[in-house]
Amino acid sequence: MAIFYPLLILGLLGIFMGVVLSLANKYLAVVEDPRIDDIEALLPNYNCGACGTPGCRAFAVAILKGEVENLRKCKPGKVDKHFNPILEYLKDHPNPDGTYNNIKI
């Protein structure tokens, strides 16, 4: 009987923390632009940093923010294999406000 109260308290604490975490997951979730994953997948994914960003994901974010004027900043990237597919993707997926980023190869 002496173990009943500690188990009860631990059980209630577990339920409480579960509710808090599920509410935090629902209301504090950070919504990320799904295009970031797609553009990252189209990049070479060497994460070499030659483009001046910490990696391919950061370069994809910079592309979508309009901070990249020329895709050739990605030194290992190839025109046919990487840059043209990215430009095609961006034509089909404009910014949420309907604008297009002015990016060149």
Binding site for ligand SF4 (CB under 6 A): 43-44, 46-51, 53, 55-56, 59, 74-77
Please say which residue, 55 or 95, places its beta carbon nearer to ligand SF4: 55
Q: Least distance from C-beta 88 to ligand SF4, angstroms? A: 17
Judge contact between 43 and 82, C-beta under 8 A: yes
Q: Please, which residue, 9 or 72, has the CB nearer to ligand SF4? A: 72
- For residue 57, the minimal CB distance to ligand SF4 (Å) is 8
CB of 40 vs ligand SF4, minimal distance in Å? 9
The 8 Å CB, 24+ separation contacts for 73-79 are 74/43, 74/44, 74/50, 75/48, 75/50, 75/51, 76/44, 76/46, 76/48, 76/50, 77/43, 77/44, 78/44, 79/105
Question: Considering beta carbons, is residue 47 or 95 the nearer one to ligand SF4?
Answer: 47
